[in-house]
Amino acid sequence: MEQRARLRSNSLSFPEVLATSVGLIGLSMTPVLVAPYTFASAGNGSWLAYLFGAVMLLFVALNLNQFAKRSSGAGSMYEYAASNLGRTSGAVAGWILIWAYAFVGASQFGAQALFWDNLAQLLGLHIPALAVFAALAALLWIAAYRDIQFSTILMLTLEGISVVIISVIIGIVLAHNGAHIDNAQLHLQGVQFNALAGLGVATAIFSFVGFECATAFGEEARNPLVTIPRAVVGSVVIAGLFFIVAVYAETLGLSGSATPFDKLSAPLWTLADIYHVPFFKVPIAIGAIFSSFGVALACVTSCARIILAMSRKDLFPSAAGAIQPRFATPYVAVAISLAAMLIVSLAMFGARVTPINIFNYSGTLSAFGFIAIYAMIAIAAPLYLRRIGDHRPIDYVIAALALAFLFVPAISLFYPPPSPPTNAFAYIFLIYIVSGWLWFARLLQRQPAARMRTP
């Protein structure tokens, strides 16, 4: 039998796998950059949008864990779909995952340009966006090319520093306002429930996307059948609690701001001014840069492992599955993933899209992919359990609830039609899916044994 280089097994502990999921979620990104978009739709119900999102994704996580507690491998979420939805549908699932991770990664190029510009303004400087793009791409390559343990430890450290800084600001706001509950938020004052259940929840979901990326590290995790399910659920719980508290505190603290919450590009800076701690602005900006880098790095490493798994099925050229001998990382797949993210961000920038909108547009485009793959997993889970003869009525209920919850934000991405250019995003995504489906269907007809190759 042909031997091939493998990823480094038993190299990731539970905290390191959890760090990967939390790193891709990017806890800091929501209070720093995403929260104003959620507030624009959900208003005083923003905390409820995040609660709804957390509950919904817990059902998705329970479906994911039906697979994760029974099997593991590199690119596992793709493998779950491929093994239970048919060869072509499984290939499209991997195709969709690549889309989702690539656009989240691209969004961080816009975020980094924005954060560095904010920091430079404090220092009276200007840093060109293209210089930020180039430096970020180089650093991502260095980090993702090296040992996976180096990458995960780096993500955990950077995100931890950022979360601590933001938690201090949140603590100041809550302490200043006392122990009482904000009645405007408790009673959902002025909230339009159709907007909260639609775009508000859809934006909240963007904050969570990536919690599932731990499933891509099944070949490298220690005791993966235990470690990965815990990391999947743990990342949703940690993120949900942090987002609810952070958005609640921001809404409370900015209620008297001269500029409305949804009009702020740097809400934590405004809070720092309101609560007379302007010296926190520089740490906030640095923490945001750290968090954004962690998100981008998690995207590169996770996307690379999807490409690796698909190359082992002959869905991509075998060269895409090459493993770097010294560091045991899929360096060619890393290069492909990083190139895709950089090309997207450069294309948008070349079309005169501002960094904040590179983040916004790329995040919206990624949401299509994540909602689609989560729905595919919810469909695949009961099929898998039925196939192995280990299904219960509650398993079908969990899958149905996940699909019902996902239906809410899915509809909001299509109806009512969003304003240009986002009204075209749904059709771009559908073209991407159809082209992938046609390509893989034709490829698999010529290579009927592709699915049978073990990863």
The pLDDT tens digits for 17-32 are: 787 777 768 888 999 9
In terms of Cβ atoms closer than 10 Å to its own Cβ (0-12, 13-18, 19+), residue 235 is: buried
Residue 6 lies in a domain: no
Residue 3 lies in a domain: no
Helix (H, G, I), strand (E, B) or coil at 61: helix
- As beta bridge partners, residue 12 has 221
d(CA 447, CA 455): 16
Q: Whose CA is closest to 83, among 399, 432, 447, 388? A: 388
Between 96 and 3, residue with greater pLDDT: 96
Q: Is the pLDDT of residue 449 over 60?
A: no
Asked if residue 379 lies in contact with residue 130, where contact means CB atoms within 8 angstroms, the answer is: no
State the DSSP code for 319.
Answer: G
Residue 415 lies in a domain: yes
pLDDT confidence band for 450 (50 / 70 / 90): very low
d(CA 223, CA 115): 38
Asked if residue 206 lies in contact with residue 170, where contact means CB atoms within 8 angstroms, the answer is: no
Look-up of token digits 């933001």: 166
Asked if residue 261 lies in contact with residue 45, where contact means CB atoms within 8 angstroms, the answer is: no
Asked if residue 148 lies in contact with residue 329, where contact means CB atoms within 8 angstroms, the answer is: yes
Tally of structural domains, the chain: 1
Give me the pLDDT at residue 77, please: 76
Residue-averaged pLDDT of the chain: 86
Across 383-402, average pLDDT = 93
Residue 8 lies in a domain: no
pLDDT confidence band for 258 (50 / 70 / 90): confident
pLDDT confidence band for 291 (50 / 70 / 90): confident
Q: Is the pLDDT of residue 157 over 60?
A: yes
Residue 165 lies in a domain: yes
pLDDT confidence band for 346 (50 / 70 / 90): very high
Q: What angle do CA 111, 115, 362 make, to 5 degrees?
A: 10
Q: Containing domain of residue 268, as a range? A: 14-452
Q: Is the pLDDT of residue 316 over 70?
A: yes
Residue 390 lies in a domain: yes
Cβ neighbour number for residue 83 with a 10 Å cutoff: 17
291-307 residues labelled b (16+ CB within 10 A) or e (exposed): bbbbbbbbbbbbbbbbb
d(CA 265, CA 273): 14
Look-up of token digits 């590009």: 265
Asked if residue 21 lies in contact with residue 232, where contact means CB atoms within 8 angstroms, the answer is: yes
CATH number, residue 336: 1.20.1740.10
**Tens digit of pLDDT for each residue in 39-73?**
988 899 999 999 999 999 999 999 999 988 887 65
pTM: 0.87
State the DSSP code for 31.
Answer: I
Q: Is the pLDDT of residue 434 over 70?
A: yes
Q: Whose CA is closest to 7, among 133, 151, 170? A: 151
Nearby residues of 352 by Cβ (< 8 Å), 6 or more positions away: none
Helix (H, G, I), strand (E, B) or coil at 104: helix
